[in-house]
Structures are given as C-alpha cells and as structure tokens.
Amino acid sequence: MLLVLGGAGLGYVYLKLDGNLKGVDINAQLGKERPDNVDNGSLDILVLGSDSRSGDNGAYGKDEGGARSDTAMVVHVYEGHKKASVVSIPRDTLVDRPACTDAKGTAVPAERRAMFNTAYEVGGPACAVKTVESMSGIRMDHYIEVDFTGFKKLIDELGGVEITTTQAIKDPKSHLDLPPGTHTLDGEQSLGLVRTRKSVGDGSDLGRIQLQQAFIKAFMNQVKDVGVFSNPAKLYGLADAATKAITPDSELDSVQELTGFAKGLAGIGAQNVHMVTLPVEYDPRDPNRVVPLEAQAAQVWKALKGDLPIPASATEGTATGKAGGVVR
C-alpha cells in the first residue's frame, strides 16, 4: 500500500501512518531462554485479540484492572509463503503457565492449571508469547495484537464483510440479531459476531472460535475483492485504520517493516489457509474449562515445527463447540 502512496508523492502519508504504530519489544523481555530460531523460510506469528476495556473500548464493559487475550491464534506461514495454517487456542484452556516478566520488569510466578488468557493479563504480550512457546516448542517470529475499537473501524473502512448465516444468531449482549441469509456486516456487527458465544452451538468458547475462523476467511476474500489499489482514498483509509488497530512487535513497528512483511504474505488467499482449533477436551474437573489432548496437540505442534501440513488425525474426536456451519 505504501509503495503506491509513495509513488504518488504523498510522503507525509508515510510519516502519518508510521506514527500510528507503537511496538512491543518481545525479544528484549523474553531474553535467550526460548525455542531455537529455525530459519527454514517459514514464519510463526502469534495474533491476539485484546479484551481491554480502556479508552474507546470502555463501551464494551468495565475496565477491571487487566486485559486478557480474548482471541489467540498461532499463524504458521509455510516456506514459499503461498499457504498457511492457523491454530486457534481457546482462551479457557488450562495450561501450565511459565514464569515470566511483565513490561515493567516485575516477575510473574509460574502457575499450574491457569487459564490461557491470564498470561496476557498478568504479564502482557511477552508472557502470552512465552506461554505459547512453552506449549508448542515453537519460537514465535512475530506478535500482532488487535483491539476491539481498531477491529471495528477497520471493518467499517473496508465497507463491511459479507457472510452467510445458516441459522439465526441473536445475542442481546452484543446487539447482534441476524436471521438466516446473506449479510454485509459493519464493524459493530462484525465485532459482535466474533465475540458472541452464548447464542451459538453449546455456548462455549469453542463455538465462538468456529465463527471467528469463518469470519476471517470472509474478511480475506473481501480484502482481495475491494480493489483498494484503484482507489487512493480507500487505500489511505484502510492503511490508517490498520496501523491504528494493531500493536506489533518491535520488528514490525514501522511502515517500512510492516509493508515488507505484508508483501511477503500477499500470495496467500483464503483458500490456502487451513484453520484448526487446538485439540482439547472438556476438563473432567470443570466443564467450563478445556484441557489440551496431549498426544494430538503434540501432532499439531510437530507438524508446524517441521513446516508440514497438520494431519487430519490430530483433530479427530476433539471438542468442537457445535457451531460449525452457522456461518460460511
């Protein structure tokens, strides 16, 4: 995007967008006690959706002192950057959270059977990354965080996202009321869809993940079809919204770095993205929580570590949340 804008002589736009980006130095906070950085041409990116209620996000509830990772996805881009696998980690997953240090240098002790999303709450992005690396044995090359308001504004700039519902979705908490059929969702409706859980399937976080995965594929198709490169105003609006919506790691916190990163992913379409949920089962001690199926989860991480497709056997017989097919 910025190459096009720069060619039009809009250098000030570059500076404006560059100023939108505020990075997090994950590498400095985590130090050297991390999985090996394997340089095989692939990329692993932790993408988090934050449920912070600070600032403009206060419209979605009270700020009770700590944000959590409302959504977590490990994106593995295969060598050649023509296809990717995405592993969604349910926020209610019970994990052994490692000891870490938050952004202020405060030590955060390890905890057994901690909910996955508390890692971000107690230690911020670095602790979330360390928890994922501890679970997977895979070093995250990058970190990208998206907040509520930024997500909503990005969808509005895009002109909405078209999805088809196969059954009614009605959620008073998110003000979502969609009959079966095809809809173009604006930013507020899109946020409601990816956050709703009680109104679909069995009301679990697993069902919500299925909605999120369907929405992301629809979003990717919409971006491909919108024709922003023939519309400078649309291009600038999207670039401005996108750079305000995200908090990247410090290796992606400039327009030049982010543009190079995005160009490297430009060949991946929705049809080339394989999305799964971390293999889990409901916790026998607490049905409101899930725990990883160790053997099958190990299959997932082993495949990604080896830059291989995730085998179908890894996700057979796992808890799903029963919302599949509600959105396509």
Type of residue found at 98 = P
Assigned token pair, 91:
């926020």
Q: Which domains does the chain have, with CATH numbers?
A: 2-315 (3.40.630.190)
**For residue 325, what pLDDT is reported?**
64
Q: What is the predicted pLDDT for the residue at 11?
A: 62
107: enclosing H helix or E strand? strand 107-108
Closest residue by Cα to residue 253 from 5, 17, 11: 17
What digits encode the pLDDT tens for the residues 29-40? 998 889 998 888
Structure tokens at 116: 């996955």
The structure tokens 């050297």 sit at: 32
Report the distance separating Cα 154 and Cα 253, nearest Å: 18
Q: Which residues of the chain have pLDDT under 70?
A: 1-12, 52-69, 199, 201-203, 226-230, 321-325
For residue 63, the model assigns a pLDDT of 45
Q: Write out pLDDT tens, residues 35-58.
A: 998 888 999 999 999 875 344 444
- Give the per-residue pLDDT at 45: 97
What are the helix (H) ranges across the chain? 2-7, 11-20, 26-30, 118-136, 148-158, 187-195, 205-225, 232-245, 255-264, 294-305
- What's the confidence (pLDDT) of residue 322? 66
Query: What is the model's pLDDT at position 100?
Result: 93
Q: What is the pLDDT of residue 263?
A: 84
Distance CA 313, CA 326 (A): 24
pLDDT of residue 204: 73
Distance of alpha carbon 206 from the chain centroid: 15
Which of 270, 285, 277 is closest to 207 using CA atoms? Answer: 277
What pLDDT, on the 0 to 100 scale, is given for residue 154? Answer: 92
Q: What is the model's pTM?
A: 0.89
**By the 8 A CB rule, do 41 and 76 touch?**
no
